[in-house]
């Protein structure tokens, strides 16, 4: 028996590969399927099933491409209604992979079709659960994402989740391994642990939602408390996972077209494409194509794309470091952005050599910021999450979280200098580029963010430890 977690940090997502006696199963695969095909080929195994724990909201699954390339059967739990061929399993149904058995446990609450898969080893002993977004480490799946589609309230879905946990998962043995679909950093939960694998017994002691003495009413109140609005792209990804999408091969072929500066300029003007510059923040600040948006590839790239670029069908043109173009198109496709039209051949250097217009963003060090702070009153925009801001911030700074910047642009003054920072500089450059493209010409980004500012003598509020459940 082989059980392998394939964890993708930028999405905080776990897919799984299970193999036995020449047969394999993939659980919750990402869009690019080659890694799974290579694993099966190495093991001389046939991929028999692609198991989906639910219709994912935060990424586009690779189930359709994987099934098309291997002949594998796509499996969902009860109440799923995909628009493509799939096996809709019944609660308690058993699937066989080599000498292994996988039992289907219908665990609605995060969504109505949410399903946990219980793996039994060669001896028939319960070995592990693949809990999807039903049970995370330290948390459970948020119950508000499916309420519009199901016409249920988040409280009603939370009640279903309570029942699922108590009736299907908590009766299992303490030594059962828990393999969740997400870890810390995912927007599918509130307070997940940084670990990605644990035992059910340990979760009974560390996960607030599994308290033995917890009433249904307490569970509903705690699970629904403090939920932030989900990213705008979530419903679009659910639709793609449910109804289908273009093959990743076609998306890559279109998106990796190399365009000369003239072709790039023409495409931008004719299509209204968003110019997405994926270089490092400080490199971008020194020179970029006017109106380009900076979301660096070396960070939480795909989630920020999904949160900030309206509509997954919006055309995109890329600026990338040489050799990373296919990686970027792939990572865009992971969250449903399939309409990449190509990339600038030769990168920004080619644009400069063509003599075309460029723009810059003013950026200063934390020490220079401290000097200016001591000399006059500054207008400061802190674009970190509210929880980060509440824990500690520069005195007098206003909080406009990057997650929802598009809805709160009016909070950023257009008159006078505005000093903008996040925690380390990644998010603040994203924010600065968005504002610059929309007419803000008074921005000064603080390199290194709050981490660097905290090392200076700039006055800060008293630190308040956040109270995660």
| pLDDT tens readout for residues 416-468 | 999 999 999 999 999 999 999 999 999 999 999 999 999 999 999 998 875 44
Whole-number Å distance between alpha carbons of 342 and 440: 28
Give the burial string for 424-434 (b: 16+ CB within 10 Å, else e): bbbbbbbbbbb
Q: What is the pLDDT of residue 466?
A: 59
List the pLDDT tens digit at each of the 469 positions of the chain.
Answer: 999 999 998 899 999 999 999 999 999 999 999 999 999 999 999 999 999 999 999 999 999 999 999 999 999 999 999 999 999 999 999 999 999 999 999 999 999 999 999 999 999 999 999 999 999 999 999 999 876 666 889 999 999 999 999 999 999 999 999 999 999 888 888 789 999 999 999 999 999 999 999 999 999 999 999 888 888 899 999 999 999 999 999 999 999 999 999 999 999 999 999 999 999 999 999 999 999 999 999 988 998 999 999 899 999 999 999 999 999 999 999 999 999 999 999 999 999 999 999 999 999 999 999 999 999 999 999 999 998 999 999 999 999 999 989 889 999 999 999 999 999 999 999 999 999 999 999 999 999 999 999 999 999 999 887 544 3
C-alpha distances (whole Å) from 71 to each of 51, 238, 432 are: 13, 23, 47
What pTM, to 2 d.p., does this model score? 0.92
- For domain 2-236, say whether CATH 3.10.129.10 is its number: no
Q: What is the pLDDT of residue 271?
A: 97
Written as six digits, the tokens of 149 are 């589609």
Longest dimension (CA), the chain: 73
Q: What is the pLDDT of residue 228?
A: 81
268: β partners: none
Q: Would you state the CATH architecture of domain 362-453?
A: 3-Layer(aba) Sandwich (3.40)
200: β partners: none
What's the CATH code, domain 246-353? 3.40.250.10
- Inter-residue contact 126 to 173 (CB < 8 Å): yes
Q: What is the pLDDT of residue 151?
A: 80
Residue with tokens 């910021």: 369
Q: What is the pLDDT of residue 187?
A: 83
Q: What is the pLDDT of residue 469?
A: 39
Rounded to the nearest angstrom, the gap between the alpha carbon of residue 231 and the centroid of all alpha carbons in its chain is: 9
Please report, for the chain, the start and end positions of each structural domain, with discontinuous segments joined by +.
2-236, 246-353, 362-453
23: β partners: 20, 46
Phi, psi of 29 (to 5 degrees): -70, 150
Q: Fold match between 246-353 and 362-453? A: yes
Question: How, if at all, do strands 443-446 and 418-421 pair?
Answer: parallel
Whole-number Å distance between alpha carbons of 136 and 27: 16
Q: To which H or E segment does residue 94 belong?
A: strand 94-97
Q: What is the pLDDT of residue 191?
A: 80
Q: What is the DSSP string of 421-462?
A: E-SSSHHHHHHHHHHHHTT---EEEETTHHHHHTTSS--BPP
Residues ≥6 apart with Cβ < 8 Å to 165: 107, 109, 134, 135, 140, 209, 210
Whole-number Å distance between alpha carbons of 234 and 248: 19
């Amino acid at each position: 028996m082989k059980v392998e977690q394939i964890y993708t940090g930028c999405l905080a997502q776990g897919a799984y590969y299970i193999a036995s006696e020449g047969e394999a199963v993939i659980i919750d695969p990402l869009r690019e399927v080659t890694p799974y095909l290579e694993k099966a080929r190495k093991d001389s195994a046939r991929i028999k099933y692609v198991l989906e724990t639910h219709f994912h909201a935060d990424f586009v699954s690779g189930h359709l491409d994987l099934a098309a390339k291997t002949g594998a059967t796509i499996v969902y739990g009860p109440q799923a209604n995909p628009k493509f061929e799939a096996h809709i399993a019944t609660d308690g149904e058993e699937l066989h992979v080599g000498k292994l058995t996988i039992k289907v446990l219908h665990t609605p609450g995060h969504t109505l079709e949410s399903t946990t898969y219980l793996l039994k080893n060669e001896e028939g002993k319960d070995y592990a659960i693949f809990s999807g977004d039903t049970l995370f480490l330290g948390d459970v799946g948020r119950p508000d994402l499916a309420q519009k589609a199901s016409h249920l309230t988040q409280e009603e879905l939370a009640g279903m989740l309570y029942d699922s946990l108590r009736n299907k998962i908590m009766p299992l043995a303490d030594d059962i391994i828990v393999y969740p679909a997400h870890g810390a950093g995912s927007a599918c939960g509130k307070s997940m642990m940084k670990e990605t694998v644990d035992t059910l017994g340990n979760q009974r002691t560390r996960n607030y939602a599994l308290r033995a003495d917890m009433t249904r009413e307490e569970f509903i109140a705690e699970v629904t408390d403090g939920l932030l609005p989900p990213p705008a792209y979530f419903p679009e990804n659910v639709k793609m996972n449910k109804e289908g999408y273009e093959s990743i091969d076609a998306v890559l072929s279109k998106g990796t077209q190399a365009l000369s500066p003239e072709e790039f300029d023409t495409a931008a003007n004719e299509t209204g494409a968003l110019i997405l510059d994926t270089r490092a923040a400080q490199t971008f600040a020194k020179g970029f194509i006017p109106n380009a948006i900076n979301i660096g590839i070396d960070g939480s790239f795909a989630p920020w794309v999904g949160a900030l670029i309206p509509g997954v069908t919006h055309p995109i043109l890329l600026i990338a470091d040489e050799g990373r173009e296919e990686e970027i198109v792939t990572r865009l496709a992971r969250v449903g952005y399939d309409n990449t039209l190509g990339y600038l051949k030769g990168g920004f250097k080619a644009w400069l050599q063509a003599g075309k217009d460029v723009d810059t963003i003013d950026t200063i060090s934390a020490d220079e910021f401290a000097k200016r702070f001591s000399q006059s009153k500054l207008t400061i925009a802190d674009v970190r999450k509210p929880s980060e801001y509440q824990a500690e911030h520069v005195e007098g700074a206003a909080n406009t979280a990057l997650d929802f910047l598009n809805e709160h642009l009016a909070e950023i003054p257009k008159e006078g200098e505005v000093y903008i920072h996040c925690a380390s500089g990644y998010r603040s450059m994203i924010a600065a580029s968005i504002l610059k493209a929309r007419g803000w010409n008074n921005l000064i980004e603080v390199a290194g963010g709050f981490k660097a500012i905290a090392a200076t003598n700039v006055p800060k509020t008293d630190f308040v430890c956040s109270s995660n459940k």
